[in-house]
C-alpha cells in the first residue's frame, strides 16, 4: 500500500467542558450542573422529602440558560 492512498484520521470532535457548582439552598446541600451547553439544573439534598429520589436528591428545576439565573430562581448560594 502506497503512502498516497492513506487517508488522514479525523480528529475526534471535542465537547466543551460543562460546568457545575455545589452550594446551599434554604439550608440544604445543593448542586447545580450544566446538562448541556446553556441548560442548567439544580438539585437539593432532602432525603426526608417523599418526592426525593432513592439517593435523597430532589430536582428543584431545570432549563435555565445561565448559572446566575439558576441561582437566582432557586436561592442557590
**Domain ranges for the chain:** 20-74
Residue ranges in the chain whose pLDDT is less than 50: none
- Give kind and range of the element (H or E) at residue 72: helix 67-74
C-alpha cell at 5: 492512498
What is the residue whose three cell numbers read 426526608? 48
Q: What is the pLDDT of residue 16?
A: 74
Q: What is the pLDDT of residue 9?
A: 73
Amino acid at each position: 500500500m502506497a503512502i498516497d492512498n492513506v487517508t488522514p484520521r479525523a480528529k475526534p470532535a471535542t465537547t466543551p467542558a460543562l460546568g457545575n457548582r455545589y452550594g446551599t439552598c434554604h439550608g440544604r446541600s445543593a448542586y447545580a450542573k450544566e446538562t448541556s451547553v446553556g441548560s442548567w439544573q439544580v438539585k437539593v439534598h432532602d432525603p426526608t422529602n417523599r418526592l426525593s429520589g432513592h439517593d435523597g436528591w430532589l430536582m428543584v428545576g431545570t432549563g435555565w440558560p445561565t448559572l446566575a439565573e439558576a441561582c437566582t430562581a432557586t436561592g442557590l448560594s
